[in-house]
Amino acid sequence: MRRIFALAARDLRLELRGRAGLFSALFFLGVVLLILGFALGPEEADLRRAAPGVLWVALAFAGSLLAGRAWAVEVENDTLDDLLLLPGSREWIYWGKFLFLWVLLFFVSLLLLVMVAGMFYLPLTRAPALLFTLVLGATGYAAVATFYAGLVVRLPTAQLVLPILVFSVVVPVILAAVRATMGLAEGAALAEVAAWWKLLALFDVVYLTASSLLFPFVIEG
Amino acid sequence: MAALVELSGVWKRFARDWVLKGVDLAVQAGEAVALLGPNGVGKTTLLRVAAGLTRPQRGEVRLFGKPAARIEAERGELLFLANPPAFYRHLTGEENLTSWLLLLGRPADPEAVAEALAEVGLPRGRPVLAYSSGMKKRLALARVLLARPRLLLLDEPETALDEEGRTLLARAIAEVRGSGGGVLLATHDRAFAEGVADREVVLS
């Protein structure tokens, strides 16, 4: 467990010092929100109705920029071999990379939530429930993205292939997260939203379990 | 006693080109073996195969007496230093070493890290992106001092090192051998190989 946290902490430190991935994702988010705001505005009701979709569309696309960061740091520094020569079964490397990407995605999704609330009138009256939805959504996304980014890390076309692979698998997570967010924005009963949460949690558990078990086989050269 | 690393009838190819053709090689405890040969003959590939980083198409690789694909905990006793050695450029030398120790599952030990850096003559607090090639080689040597590996695999370790650096390298190799470890190094420098290795293997 200590090694998982050490790996995630080191990658976060490198990401904050290198800045490339996080800054490009934040810039991209700003542009996407601006374009969607112009396209859907200026009626408040229209913006409010679109807010849950905007939140998750923006997060999904920004996530595709961040998805490769978990492994890009190893490619940029030629350190993948060193990582693979660390002792122990390699599942822990998956969990360390997953944790790194999850923290990055959750940080971006928090910023996004505030921006969407400000620009698209997404009500924050049920903020804890919205945060819970973000946690579940970010978990599923990071689970899939970490796995596929590891799978394609040695490919020269990794940056092109990765979004296609991730989006093809992560769609159920995004759909369930949009429906849960819509329910919260429209004031639906918590029991109704909980059905989507359960579905999200199920995806998260399945993706995390399958990815961590398969990871040692896909990361080998 | 089993060899630290043993390659039996190893064949390795990239696309249609066979780089290694039936290589047999073993490194025993307390032994240093130098791999010599011209560019492109497969020295680096052989080291990577020996480290278990890439699988041969044919033949068997055993590390510490076990098939290379099956070792897990034993990887902590193996150190492979590539050429050029790989470090995280945005971290300082000590951050690189400390993070590596933590990932090995060892305590951070800032004193040992500072000692190792001082021993190889590197300044503290400077990011690796500001290091020269020779300084990166010295940082790699600091890893050897910290890790005390049972099996040390070195790819052209003497390149970019000055005389003092080469002396440090030769001493590190001798220490690994002296403590019962083994060393397999690829080099183009026959004189250096003769100085540090018990025997030479020429790939052709």
Q: Do A88 and B75 touch (CB under 8 A)?
A: yes
Tell which of B90, B106, B128, B143 to mutate to test the A interface (max A CBs under 10 Å): B90
Query: Which residue on chain B is closest to A74 by alpha carbon?
Result: B88
Contact B91, B139 (CB under 8 A): no
Q: What is the pLDDT of residue A188?
A: 86
The parent domain of residue A204 ranges over 2-219
Question: Is residue B122 packed enough to be buried (19+ CB in 10 Å), middle (13-18) or exposed (0-12)?
Answer: buried
ipTM: 0.85
B115: enclosing H helix or E strand = helix B110-119
C-beta separation of B60 from B24 below 8 A: no
- pLDDT above 70 (res B25): yes
Q: At B40, is the secondary structure helix, strand, or coil? A: coil
Distance of residue A215 Cα from the nearest chain B Cα, in angstroms: 15
The predicted model scores a pTM of: 0.88
Q: Does domain B5-86+133-141+148-202 have CATH number 3.40.50.2300?
A: no
Give the pLDDT band (50/70/90) at residue B21. Answer: confident
- The 10s digit of each residue's pLDDT in B49-60 is 999 888 889 999
B87 close to A (CB below 8 A): yes
Question: Is pLDDT above 70 for B19?
Answer: yes
Q: What is the pLDDT of residues A158-169, one digit of tens each?
A: 888 888 898 889
pLDDT cut 70: percent of chain A above it? 100
Collapsing DSSP to helix, strand or coil, A149 comes out as helix
Average pLDDT over residues A94-98: 94
Q: For residue A69, is pLDDT > 70?
A: yes
* Mean local confidence (pLDDT), B89-101: 93
Q: How many domains does chain A have?
A: 1
Q: How confident is the model at residue A221 (pLDDT cuts 50, 70, 90)?
A: low
Q: Residue B189's pLDDT is what?
A: 87
List chain B domain ranges: 5-86+133-141+148-202
Residue in B closest to A76 by C-alpha? B88
Structure tokens belonging to residue A144: 């899939």
Distances (CA, A) of A72 to A93, A103, A109, B74, B163: 14, 16, 21, 27, 36
Nearest residue of A to residue B55, measured between CA atoms: A221
Give yes or no for a contact between B87 and B128, defined as CB atoms under 8 angstroms apart.
Answer: yes
DSSP B160: T
